[in-house]
Amino acid sequence: MRFEVPQFIEVEDKIFGPLTWRQFLYLSGGLGMAVVIFFTTNIFAFVFFGLPLALLAGALAFYPINNRPFSYFLEAIFNYITKQHLYLWRKKSDVVHKSFSPIKPVEEDISVRAQMTTKKNISSLARRLELQALQKPE
């Protein structure tokens, strides 16, 4: 049995002339509130409240950002402002404390230095022998 697959899933249906249901609700709500503000208050209140409300309604209805509705953009701004920011890539600087007491030079014993150099020499010789043994083809 064959099934019909819709071709344009992302496209909303036009309900009110060239407007979709969502566009119609945004425009009717925003412009309706702007008209109410215009007739009930003075011109300065309309300029400060009514016009931005009408512009917001127009942006919500018709202005997509990165092919997504403007409401997603406003939601992302709100989440960015309200949530805590955690920067994992910033390394905290080490705190260096300065001491003002004079540092006394440590007198090294010659026998201790000789033991350390012989241990280093023995370990480097052992390492060389291991590398030569690994490189020899048998």
Q: Would you list the domain boundaries of the chain?
A: 14-63
- pTM for this prediction: 0.52
- Is the pLDDT assigned to residue 106 strictly greater than 70? no
**Residue-wise pLDDT tens digits, 22-62:** 899 999 999 999 999 999 999 999 999 999 999 999 999 99
CB 34 within 8 A of CB 26: no
Is the Cα torsion angle 75, 76, 77, 81 positive or negative in sign? Answer: positive
- Cα angle: 69, vertex 67, 52; to 5 degrees: 40
Is the Cα torsion angle 18, 60, 56, 24 positive or negative in sign? Answer: positive
